[in-house]
Structure 1
Amino acid sequence: MSSKRSWLTLKHLTFTGPDADPADIEFSAGLSVLMGASNTGKSFSVKALDFLLGAARDLPDIVERKPYDRAWLALDLPLFGPATFMRAVAGGSFELRPGFVTAPPPEDASVRQLSGRHDHTNNDNISRLLLEEIGLAGREIAVDANGKKRSLSFRDLARFCIVDEAAIQSETSPAMSGQYQFVTAERSVFRLLITGADDSAIVPVVDKKTFKASTAGKIEVLDDMIAAIDGKLEADFPHSDQLADQSVRLEASYQDARLEFNRAQESIRARLTAKRTYADWISRLEARRAEIHINFGRFEQLQDVYQSDIRRLEAIEEAGFLLGLGGDRDCPFCGATPDHQKHAHSLDEIEKARGAAIAEIAKIRRQSVELDAALADLSAEGVQGERELAAAYDGLSHVERGLSELAPAANAAKHQLDQTLSVRDKVREGLALLEQRQSLQNRRTELAALKPAAKSDKPNLGLSTNAAFEFAQTVSSVLEEWQFPGKRAVSFDETTFDLIIDGKHRRDNGKGVRAITHAAFKVALLLFCRDRQLPHPGFVLLDTPLLTYRDPIHSKAGPLSPDEAALSNTSLKDFFFEHLSKNGDTCQFMVIENVDLPSGIEKMGKVEVLTGDPTTGRMGLFYPARRPTNPAGTTSGQVL
């Protein structure tokens, strides 16, 4: 079987600070074991992994973490490849950086900001990114029995791959958190993991409580609206039962009033047209009269010019004539003989000028005659225009008298129409209120008759019998591999969503047995998804699954119960690690423990031991803080 899957592979967890050496834990691609005494940081590392995968809960405020300000989780993502999540120890958003890094990159390095809050509509949050990497982005899960849905978050999957000490000992199903309000959602997530099918196709129905509250609220609103209409009808329409008959009568009256008004309007309209015609005619006649008056003035001025030109030309002609007569005689003034007289122009030229003057006089006289004719025409046109203008004014006066006579009747018809229309509209308003009231009453009747969704209408959110059986068989196989005592006959209880092992509910066992069977549940789920190529984060972290091997005297978990004592006398611990190691080529397992480990465990996977002793091995998760050197050459500070 190919080991290439859309699963996450954790590489190392690191804490850094400006005045501290890096503190880190490396993880094997197969089995990793973190072994140590109490208060060495084992449980803190579990919370830190969850914190760096999007948990909103703050990290425990232990003194050992004070020198560190950043937490880093290096992991191999199926699509993105080698990557590192960085988050401030104080919490907040994330930075995603390519490669396995534990130091702030150069300013030009590729850094992607990610929110810690899930948002299925936005790619820039760690939940959406991780879901895309494992092939579960965009999936939906039901959150109540009526099929109400929400988008899947990576936090829904976290409990199936990160199991802390409290959860592993709990009597609650390994698939559940124990909080009643999340039961349906958590069961939906488990069903998604073992079937690969989400709840996006489910059509929600309204639950009985919500239905009743919603229906009662709607009826109350309708009652308020009906009461408001009743109040208005009582105040404005005390005889509302007669509105329909009134409407019929008013419609007939309105039609009669409108007909009468239209007749009056038609008579007025014809006279208004005639008035506009007379007004236009008068306007044109007055404009022409003004033009004739102007032209008379201009023509009279031109006649004066003609007479002046004739007199001037007659003078020239007479002078020429006189000059022509005396050209061959002694000068009457000085007595000079014709031979001794000098003229600037010859007699021929003078005669020509005289002839031209005579011709021009004739021409001007012809034009003067034509001008007299034009003046006569203008005068005649002016007289005719005055007659027409008088007739137009007479016609306009006649039309205006007719309009004055029709106005009272038209005004009365308009007043009657307006009154009828106003009353008709008021009646229509009352009828509209009655119609609205009836509509609201019908809606109220319909709502009162509605019934909540029947049980058969609700979606079936149960786990299929076949899927539950196959998963239970996988758990049985895991328990067999671990040599769990008994027949290892496992069934899945759909009521509690938990296991029944050899006829006994898992929750009815002691803490140690609950812890190991919880671990079997989570390991079996990973193997189940692996064998069927179903989406899963791809790793399981278990905090103290071997609680039954505790020291019954010094352990805070107390003495062993009979079933724990029976289990502690077996070699399950050895088979447990062997089985996880054997499957480490395709799955990643991380175990946090404080019991003695089997001999040869180093050959099965990577083992990190936290001694709690500063003189032996690694004392704890956090390395000592750097201590600055003082001027005297000594160091100061506190070792964590």
Structure 2
Amino acid sequence: MYIESVVVSGPDRADAAVYFEKGANVVQGGSNTGKSYIVQCVKFALGANTPPKPINESQGYTTLNVKFVHDDGRSFTIERHLSESSKPTLYDEDGKVQTLGVKHNPTKMNSISNQFLDRLGLNGKLLLKGTASLNNASFSLRDFEKVFLMDETRIVAEYSPLGTGQKDERTMETSILKLLLTGKDDTGVKQAKKELASKGALRHRAAAVEDIIKQFYPGDDAAEALELQKLSSFTTQVKLRLKVAETELEGAFHSSEGLFTQKASHISELEVVEGKIAEDRALLGRFGMLGQKYESDRQRLQGIEQAAVLLDESDAVLCPTCGNHFDSESCTTDVDDIKKGVSFELERISKNLHELGEAQGSLAAAIERNTSTAETTKTSIAVLEKLISTEIQSSVQLVSDLKELASCLNQDHSALDKYVTNKAKLRGELKKLGVLLLEEQNKYTPESFEESAKPLVKEIQDILQRWSFPNHAPVEFNFKARDISIGGSARGNFGKGYRAIASSAFALGLMNLLKLSGRHPGFVVLDSPLTTYKEGDPEPEEDDEEVAADVIYAFYQDIADNFKDSQVIVFENKEPDMALIPHLNYQHFTKSRKSGRYGFFPLRG
């Protein structure tokens, strides 16, 4: 899923609209150009209670529309009036219109939160709020939004990206992360009190788990472990062979380098010839227009010549110049001079027409020759393309086959590994139930998920490495703080600039990981991940810092190169390097009334 557009409209107002694409999107501009207003619009469309903060430019605008598009092309739009009491209206893929509430209700589908989470398989999930009290809460879009829609306040916050910094939210933040990483919520907390109060219930549950193990996981552990080991070994061998095949394919490309060079040369020649043809045709057209003018002048002069003859033969008419008879001595006009002048001009025009005809013939011949040359060059290019295809086709096929085999092996390995893991979890559950049967405690113990956090840590570390983040390794997850540490330092201990970068890496790493299981919308919005000291601030704060130029360049390059199947929307004061702008969906708010787009809202008058 990705955001396609954010549009704010109002009576007698030109729409304020911004459009996004899949992949990297950057809206760059100075302060007070409406960037943060757009972020607030998205939050309001997703059910925030407070509409975007009014600004001078937003006066008269009354309605917000945000359009979302699924990866399969289906779309839905959320419309909402810009007032606190308004309810969002959802226009879905089938044209159905629903008026929704903003308060999450886990038992109904009448809120924007339910509708959105249902598309991700996360609706109806339960969070643990307190281990001692066994308090719980429904997982809502407000809880999830924190990690994919980071405004300029959250992105530099010292507290966990999963919460709001309140001490009483620590348990719930941990529960949120577990839900996102594993897909498992804390539904068990609802039943914990009843189950722990009755040993009979515990025995029944233990028997049920044991029955599940016997019925659905009857296999021999040793045989399954051996099969898993074989699959791992075979997968490794195929990966090694794939690496060799890819190297051979690269060699095939290198061996065909001469053919690529010839092709490029022919393409350059073709461009020159086609350019010459276009120029000659344009010149031929202008020559045709000039010939028409010459012909028009000749006809006019011929008319003058005929008129002079008639005047010469008649002495009854008056001279058009002096008004006297032609035989009058007072007439100063000499008809013979007129004839001679006209004759001279006709001769000159005939000569010009002759020379123009020769030039047109020469141009037509040149066009014909160049057209023939172009066709010959195109034929040569086609021959070279066929030779290149022949050179690398077998290598490409081998790489494709090995990739397909590797994919099948990975699927088999994953399925068996999941089978073995599920069995181990069930046995762990059975063991835990056995312990509870021996105890008389009324408590609920959340399931550990530390192993599930390791892929997230790796994703974040890989991103920080690509961004040239100083001392980016090792990245670790501190479950007590519900946050990451980088190079031994807690994220919250960095200055604002690098806190913002680290928060961005957390959000993007989490998206990369959760998209594999479909538990993420597929887009992340980052407000000012690179700028901490904003124009208009009275003075820099103590922990404001400039992010290094190489980190900024690597950040923009990475979101352009490695997030093409997702959507990253960056609102930023800092402009990307000019070389990277063609690879981004880039929109620049100039803050100038005289050039480009001033900001999100159209200027009036």
Asked if the contact 2:41/2:51 (under 8 Å) is kept, the reply is no
Does 1:546 find its partner at 2:540? no
2:140 aligned to which of 145, 150, 153? 153
Could you say what secondary structure the match of 1:165 adopts?
Answer: coil
Structure 2 partner of 1:57? 50
Does 1:189 find its partner at 2:215? no
5 Å-filtered alignment, 1:443-454, equals: none
Q: 1:483 and 1:114, CA in 2 relative to 1: closer, same or farther beyond 3 A?
A: same
| Structure 1 letter corresponding to 2:157 | S
Structure 2 partner of 1:168? 155
Equivalents in 2 of 1:546, 1:475: separation in Å?
17
| Structure 2 letter corresponding to 1:574 | Y
Structure 2 partner of 1:94? 88
Does 1:480 find its partner at 2:474? no
Equivalents in 1 of 2:573, 2:472: separation in Å?
29
Structure 2 partner of 1:465? 450
| Structure 2 letter corresponding to 1:505 | A
Structure 2 partner of 1:579? 558
2:568 aligned to which of 589, 596, 601? 589
Q: 1:22 and 1:523, CA in 2 relative to 1: closer, same or farther beyond 3 A?
A: same
Question: How far is 1:205 from its partner?
Answer: 5.7
Question: How far is 1:53 from its partner?
Answer: 0.9
Structure 2 partner of 1:17? 10
Q: 1:203 and 1:473, CA in 2 relative to 1: closer, same or farther beyond 3 A?
A: same
Question: How far is 1:557 from its partner?
Answer: 6.7
Structure 2 partner of 1:120? 106
| Structure 2 letter corresponding to 1:470 | P
Structure 2 partner of 1:33? 26
Question: How far is 1:16 from its partner?
Answer: 0.7
Equivalents in 1 of 2:72, 2:111: separation in Å?
16
Equivalenced residues, count: 360
| Structure 2 letter corresponding to 1:164 | D
Equivalents in 1 of 2:25, 2:592: separation in Å?
22
Equivalents in 2 of 1:557, 1:195: separation in Å?
44
2:478 aligned to which of 493, 496, 513? 493
Question: How far is 1:150 from its partner?
Answer: 2.7
1:344-381 deviations in Å (ceiling 9; x for gaps) = xxxxxxxxxxxxxxxxxxxxxxxxxxxxxxxxxxxxxx
1:126-180 deviations in Å (ceiling 9; x for gaps) = 1111111111122221122243323221111111110011111111111221123
Q: Which has the larger radius of gyration?
A: 1
| Structure 1 letter corresponding to 2:118 | E
Q: 1:559 and 1:88, CA in 2 relative to 1: closer, same or farther beyond 3 A?
A: closer
Could you say what secondary structure the match of 1:13 adopts?
Answer: strand
Q: 1:484 and 1:25, CA in 2 relative to 1: closer, same or farther beyond 3 A?
A: same
1:535-589 deviations in Å (ceiling 9; x for gaps) = 11211101111126x68x9766716759x45xx3451111112221223322110
Equivalents in 2 of 1:44, 1:498: separation in Å?
28
Structure 2: gaps of 5 or more residues = 194-438
Question: How far is 1:181 from its partner?
Answer: 3.1
Q: 1:77 and 1:54, CA in 2 relative to 1: closer, same or farther beyond 3 A?
A: farther
Structure 1 partner of 2:283? none
Question: How far is 1:94 from its partner?
Answer: 1.2
2:586 aligned to which of 607, 612, 626? 607
User: Normalization by structure 2: what TM-score?
Assistant: 0.56
Structure 2 partner of 1:67? 60
Equivalents in 2 of 1:195, 1:610: separation in Å?
41
Q: 1:143 and 1:455, CA in 2 relative to 1: closer, same or farther beyond 3 A?
A: farther
Asked if the contact 2:174/2:479 (under 8 Å) is kept, the reply is no
Equivalents in 1 of 2:57, 2:466: separation in Å?
39
Equivalents in 1 of 2:498, 2:441: separation in Å?
40
| Structure 1 letter corresponding to 2:159 | T
Equivalents in 1 of 2:93, 2:518: separation in Å?
27
Equivalents in 2 of 1:188, 1:79: separation in Å?
31
Question: How far is 1:462 from its partner?
Answer: 6.7
Q: Percent identity?
A: 28
Structure 1: gaps of 5 or more residues = 1-7, 101-108, 207-453, 626-638
1:616-637 deviations in Å (ceiling 9; x for gaps) = 1111111135xxxxxxxxxxxx
Q: 1:576 and 1:80, CA in 2 relative to 1: closer, same or farther beyond 3 A?
A: closer
Could you say what secondary structure the match of 1:479 adopts?
Answer: helix
Asked if the contact 1:17/1:69 (under 8 Å) is kept, the reply is yes
Q: Compute the RMSD of aligned alpha carbons.
A: 2.8
5 Å-filtered alignment, 1:619-630, equals: 619-625=598-604
User: Normalization by structure 1: what TM-score?
Assistant: 0.53
Equivalents in 1 of 2:467, 2:573: separation in Å?
19
| Structure 2 letter corresponding to 1:34 | V
Asked if the contact 1:176/1:187 (under 8 Å) is kept, the reply is no
Could you say what secondary structure the match of 2:21 adopts?
Answer: coil
Could you say what secondary structure the match of 1:476 adopts?
Answer: helix
Question: How far is 1:93 from its partner?
Answer: 0.6
